[in-house]
Amino acid sequence: MARGWESKAVEGQVQEFQSKEDRQNKKQVSQDQVETRRKRGVLLLSRARVEKQLQSSQGPRYREQLEQALADLDAQLAQLPTDAK
C-alpha cells in the first residue's frame, strides 16, 4: 500500500516539474510573439497612414514617394513571421 502512494507522489513531482518547464518555454515564446505583434501593429499603422496620405496627395513626385514607402512597408510585413494562433 505504501508503495502505491510513493509512486503517486513521484508521479506528481514529475508532472509538476514538466509543467514548470512548459510554462517557461511558453513564456519565452509568448515574449517573441508579443514583440512580433508589436512590430506588425506599428507597420500596419504606418501603412494606414501612408495610404491615407496617398489618397489625398496631388503631386506626382510625392505620390511616387508614398507608393515606394507603401511597398517598403509591405515588404517589411512580409518578412515578419506569421502567428501560429
Residue pLDDT, tens place only, 25-74:
666 677 888 899 999 999 999 999 999 999 999 999 999 999 999 999 99
Q: What string of H, E and C letters represents the secondary structure of 11-62?
A: HHHHHHHHHHHHHHHHHHHHHHHHHHHHHHHHHHHHHHHHHHHHHHCCCHHH
Q: Model-level pTM?
A: 0.62
Indicate whether 10 pLDDT > 80. no
More confident residue, 58 or 2: 58
Q: How far is CA 26 from the centre of its chain?
A: 13
